Amino acid sequence: MEQYKRAFIEFMVEAGVLTFGDFRTKSGRKTPYFVNTGKYRTGAQVARLGRFYADAFQENMEGEKVDVLFGPAYKGIPLVVTTAIALAEGHGKDLAFTFNRKEAKAHGEGGRLVGHHPKDGERVVFIEDVTTAGTSIKETVPLLRAQAQVELAGLLVSVDRMEKGKGDRSALLEISEEFEMPCFAIVTLDEIVTHLSQNPVGGRIVLGPEILERIRAYRDTYGADSHS
């Protein structure tokens, strides 16, 4: 596993973004772990988060033509901004970015998009937190395509929960096939489990036998390989 992945897993735990216990996802599934990027709350955390996204972007999109980064409101807004900054400062890649308003602005320049306004033929990468049903993608692709005939170059999320979507295939694979674009994650659930089951964070064991067994049971019910 790459060093930046190991560091990102520990970073999520230390920030309280990755937690273990009893939770319910938006889709109604009871889950023993939860990822909430809304827990990032300082400038230093958000700056570091952008560097992790930038590292994953470089690993997965190196050599690919990308013109624009797009962050779906609301959580995608700080994510796309910090990723754009990190790519410019750390990798010399100055990409345009844009995000959407939830409601159209009726005054000034109006419209639903803030930042760069995409042009025909530009290739767009979505920057998201965690996605299961792909709802924000489905809602915002029409907004982008109402602005211009853009090409969807990819989706980058923080964590691939490796869960089934509507059917038996993984949710990210369903999104990939529906929108004909590759989908990537900084880390997968399997990588999280592998690292935290073998390494303490801040001097404490994060994944003990009980939580590990609950995650295995959850995966038996809802799990799907990222490529199936």
**Active-site residue (options: 26, 30, 105, 138):** 105
Taking the CA atoms of the chain, what radius of gyration do you get in angstroms? 18
DSSP-assigned beta bridge partners for residue 159 = 187
Cis, bond preceding 74 (omega within 30 deg of 0): yes
According to DSSP, residue 223 is labeled B
Q: Which residues, 6 or more positions from 3, have their beta carbon under 8 angstroms from its beta carbon?
A: none
Q: Does the annotation count 105 as an active-site position?
A: yes
Express the helix, strand and coil content of the chain in percent, nearest 5 each.
Answer: 40, 25, 30
One DSSP character per residue, 136-201 reads: HHHHHHHHHHHH---EEEEEEEEEE--BB-SSSSBHHHHHHHHHT--EEEEEEHHHHHHHHHH--B
Angstrom distance (rounded) from CA 218 to CA 223: 7
Would you tell me the crossing angle of helices 171-179 and 135-147 to the nearest 10 degrees?
20
**Active-site residue (options: 5, 39, 91, 107):** 107
Q: Does the annotation count 227 as an active-site position?
A: no
Catalytic residues: 105, 107
